[in-house]
Structure 1
Amino acid sequence: MAATIHITQVFQLLFWCACLYSSRLASGADYDEFDFDGLPGVQHEFKIEVPAGGEECFHQKVAEGANLHMSFEVLRGGTERLIDVVIRNPTNFIVEGHYGKPEIVIQHLVEIAGVYTICVDNTFSRMASKLVYVYIITFVPAEWTKYVQEIEDMDMTVSNFTHSISEVQKSLEEAKLHQASSRMNVVKDWYLIMGNNSYIVKWSIAQICVVVCSSVFTVIFVRRLFKIPNVTPSQKPRA
């Protein structure tokens, strides 16, 4: 079980949360740009220990026209585990009051922008403290719809980008296959050229040898045809 969050810690959390978006919600006009960490609403979830005979209050800044949803559930304390919850608007008027219940769910449409006070009351219990689970979420419907549309548009853009990347990847794979095929063809052509070159060189050398031998034989044969001795067979000078 998570550690119990005391009221001082809750105040510190709300203080820092308020500081984060106070620049946007400083005036009434700024509520048209209601934002919290880039989101069109706020959300808190924590546990709070309410002492016996005591009351714990915390504050939440809410934009005009926002939906305020709160859930309270007594986790531990007493036999019946009952609690009172009161919500006051910025004018200190009680807009919601729920008494003597172990579990409370509140849906409230905010008409006045400002800081709302939420009090968890345990004054009727003199003996037992109460551990209360608190869940709060507030958002402007128009801003939320716009935010959802932006998310959908972003998802569509991401999908289109992913599709484009996939097409590019597919084209790159096809280009790689084409390059591999081209390299294989180049190697095949190189071996074919080298084989043809070797064949031509060998036949050229053979033909050169044949031509040289033919030329030598022709020269010798012709010379022998024109070779006439100076004497006759009887050793007489030829006339």
Structure 2
Amino acid sequence: MVQLQDCLHATSEIMASAESLSKQPPITTARRSRLAVSMILLLLLLPLLSSAVELTFELPDNAKECFHEDIEMGVSTQLEFQVVTGGHYDVDVTVEGPGRDVLYREIKQQYGQFQFITKVQGTYQVCFSNEFSTFSHKLVYMDLQVGEEKPLPGVGEHQTAMTQMESSSLKVHENLNTVLDYQTHHRLQESKGRKRAEELNETVLYWAVGESIAIVGIALAQVLILKNFFGDKHTLRAG
């Protein structure tokens, strides 16, 4: 919520900057067009600047999936995972270095987070195992962030202090990244909750059908028993 307030505050700063610019001497139409095109291109490039690997994949029963990433030495890396659907919502996770040395291992975890700094350059491996499950498929979310986010184009080329418009744009960019992260986690929680509700609904339906069949069967049995009680009895006589 604080980040959203910061985002709204940054947006209001942009509006204030625009109002202050409108009070300054008139800007030519060509300059306004170039400024608008630059802002649009900047917004379009924002999703392409992330250095994270984020995906959701299906992990079958008795299966193991591994992902590989080439990372330089001394790079901060963060792994985040969560089991969205399937079984008891658990999975085995292992992170190995270039020499197959185990950096992180968790058994039957529903979710987790692991952050480390690479000590050597090479190929790092992240594995998710569902080999302990005999029939449950899992849907797993993984987010692997390697290094810091790349700076926006042109930010490092500034020889002077940034203007209020540029500072506000950077603030909006940071807040939008936070909003995207919150949205991803909320979607995962919503999907997990919806799947649990569907499974509960299915279980209740099966139990209701079973109980209905049992009640009908018991009623028929009672009718037959009562019918036998009050039916005609034939006696056999020995001749």
Fold agreement, TM-score > 0.5:
no
Larger Rg: 1
TM-score w.r.t. length of structure 2: 0.44
With the length of structure 1 as denominator, give the TM-score of the two structures: 0.44
